[in-house]
Amino acid sequence: MEADYVIVGAGSAGCAMAYRLSEAGKSVLVIEHGGTDAGPFIQMPGALSYPMNMKRYDWGYRSEPEPHLGGRRLVCPRGKVIGGSSSINGMVYVRGHACDYDHWRDQGADGWGYSDVLPYFKRMEHWHDGGHGGDPDWRGNDGPLHVSRGGMANPLTRAFIAAGGQAGYELTDDYNGEQQEGFGPFDMTVWNGRRWSAANAYLRPALRRDNCDLVRALAQKVVIEEGRAVGVEVLCKGRREVVRARSEVILAASSINSPKLLMLSGIGPAAHLAEHGIVVVADRPGVGGNLQDHLELYIQMAASQPVSLYRYWNLPGKAWVGAQWLFGKRGPGASNQFESCGFIRSAAGVEYPDIQFHFLPIAVRYDGQAAAEGHGFQAHVGPMRSVSRGRISLRSASPGDDPVIRFNYMSDESDWRDFRRCIRLTREIFEQDAFAPYRRHEIQPGADVQSDDELDGFIREHAESAFHPCGTCRMGRRDDTDSVVDSEARVIGVDRLRVADSSIFPRITNGNLNAPSIMVGEKVAAHVIGHGMLPPENAQPWIHPGWREVQR
């Protein structure tokens, strides 16, 4: 129960760190409360709606009642399983826009501009273009993380890209390459028909080394002596023990649990810790603050032809899909079905995309409940850079209690304006000629929901989290009181302690968070090892030349 490095959390970043640190010859212990990821519910990409709704694999967090969403409590799934949230997510792979990382750098995360992080994105990837074109100069081809594309066999999937072009938007072969803006094929962390989670990519190879091991236990707090982290107190098979770290403790427990563990360890807002009788080790007001997420709506259309995936939404259909996957890793079950997408700017004067579309060739909720109308299709749409901020705080000083999660969604008037624009722009895309053979009528919001007030009512009732929480241990300059970690992810005020997961994001990235979370694990591991940082790559991303004057 001792190693050079103790990592709390076998999720996206934690697995990457275990792989790189053990590869460098360091001894590593990974602490993970969740269990095995074996079985078809996790490994079959098409079964993605199951694991995030199963207590066995999910921490089961919910927000506090959201005052701007009618008091609704929104679910906040986080992976409680080997691979963390990469084992229960939608497998969508989005690096984010280059400008996101330049913003990080400009806000105090020195060394985290796009030129700095691009080499780590390339290092982690093994990219397969699937015959759909792409941008090989911007991609990696020998990393642990396989990234592929679906076959786009469904005509609705292809119609979405065509409709984007007909509406006057750019088309892009590779939104993870030089040009994010536009419509094109989606990347997914799927390989040979299997979910390629951080556990499959990084942890299993690491555990085959003699210097890396996994401890199944629930972390209680970081043990700090004389201002230095020396280990982690865990609850293991009913007994409290301390896992000792000879060099460093690294928290990679998610944007929900990493700030919780810091606060339980005495690192956080002093007054809040005192309320719960916790001795203050380091007064860091930013711990738990700066909470961000993406909200999204499902704009659903009924289909006039039986071309959607609804034909499998019955017992015989699901059995057929399952059998095809089980015996050949093929068929609809071998894809997450998010195979086409779009990134657009909401208005003239917006420099780079601030709206993302996930297209799905079925009208269905994330919990697997199909629309009553039967055959249909939908776009998940939402703004990427909301200014609303929330906070994670302690419910009590007991590690067994869930933290208090307040996202404070839609607390700024600009959020409402941006969401209304999302709905209207999506409707315009669905009205294009490419969808004419398949379009019947709008399921939701519905044709009678048109005015600003009507749209606001729909948003208030139906907006859902895209499950991208981040920012709660913000990275920044050491003299910034709201910073929690410095630009090498070291906790400010405590030695030999780092945080490496999506909680250190200064601002949410433009897209899904799994890829940037893994990148954080890769880059922080390089900082820990302390030599051989990859040299920056000064690749210039495409920016719409008329962005100041036109929306598309």
Average the pLDDT over 446-471 and give the result: 97
**What pLDDT is recorded for position 487?**
98
Q: Which residues pair with 379 in a beta bridge?
A: 299, 359
What Cα–Cα distance (Å) separates residue 324 from each residue in 156, 191, 312, 359, 368? 22, 16, 12, 24, 20
Q: To the nearest 5 percent, what fractions of the chain are helix, strand and coil?
A: 30, 25, 45
Give 26-56 pLDDT, tens digit per residue: 999 999 999 999 988 999 999 998 898 899 9
Give 233-287 pLDDT, tens digit per residue: 999 999 999 999 999 999 999 999 999 999 999 999 999 999 999 999 999 999 9
135 pLDDT tier (thresholds 50, 70, 90): confident
User: Annotated binding residue at 280?
Assistant: no
Give 486-520 pLDDT, tens digit per residue: 999 999 999 999 999 999 999 999 999 999 999 99
Annotated active-site residue 468? The verdict is yes
List, as one string, the DSSP characters of 216-264.
Answer: E-EEEEEEEETTEEEEEEEEETTEEEEEEEEEEEEE-SHHHHHHHHHHH
User: Annotated binding residue at 321?
Assistant: no
Give 199-211 pLDDT, tens digit per residue: 999 999 999 999 9
Max Cα-Cα span within the chain: 70
**What pLDDT is recorded for position 134?**
77
Q: What is the pTM of this model?
A: 0.97
What Cα–Cα distance (Å) separates residue 30 from each residue in 33, 428, 443? 10, 49, 46
**What pLDDT is recorded for position 22?**
98
**What pLDDT is recorded for position 368?**
66
- Assign 3-class secondary structure to 321-341: HHHHHHHHCCCHHHCCCCCEE
Average the pLDDT over 60-79 and give the result: 97
Question: Could you identify the residue written with the tokens 């269905």?
Answer: 364
Q: Does residue 425 register a pLDDT over 90? A: yes
Give 71-91 pLDDT, tens digit per residue: 999 999 999 999 999 999 999
User: Annotated binding residue at 54?
Assistant: no
Q: Among 33, 103, 468, 544, which one carries the catalytic annotation?
A: 468
Give 325-377 pLDDT, tens digit per residue: 999 999 999 999 999 999 999 999 999 999 999 999 999 876 666 677 899 99
User: Annotated binding residue at 91?
Assistant: yes
First-to-last alpha carbon distance for the chain, in angstroms, is 57
Give the DSSP letter of residue 399: T
User: Annotated binding residue at 81?
Assistant: yes
| Superfamily designation of domain 43-74+83-197+292-465 | Glucose Oxidase, domain 3 (3.30.560.10)
The chain-wide mean pLDDT, for the chain, equals 96
Whose CA is closest to 411, among 65, 69, 63?
Answer: 69
> Domain boundaries in the chain?
2-38+200-286+470-484+498-509, 43-74+83-197+292-465
**What pLDDT is recorded for position 296?**
97
Choose the CATH number for 2-38+200-286+470-484+498-509 among 3.30.70.360, 3.40.228.10, 3.30.43.10, 3.50.50.60. Answer: 3.50.50.60
Yes or no: say if 358 and 438 are a contact pair by the CB < 8 Å rule.
Answer: no
The residue type found at 274 is A
Whose CA is closest to 386, among 291, 313, 500, 487?
Answer: 291
Dihedral angle of Cα 411, 415, 416, 417, to the nearest 10 degrees: 140
Helical (H) or strand (E) element with 382:
strand 376-383
Give 373-423 pLDDT, tens digit per residue: 899 999 999 999 999 999 999 999 999 999 999 999 999 999 999 999 999
**What pLDDT is recorded for position 132?**
67
- The distance from CA 454 to its chain's CA centroid, rounded to whole angstroms, is 30
Whose CA is closest to 197, among 338, 330, 343, 51?
Answer: 51
Whose CA is closest to 125, among 187, 212, 35?
Answer: 187
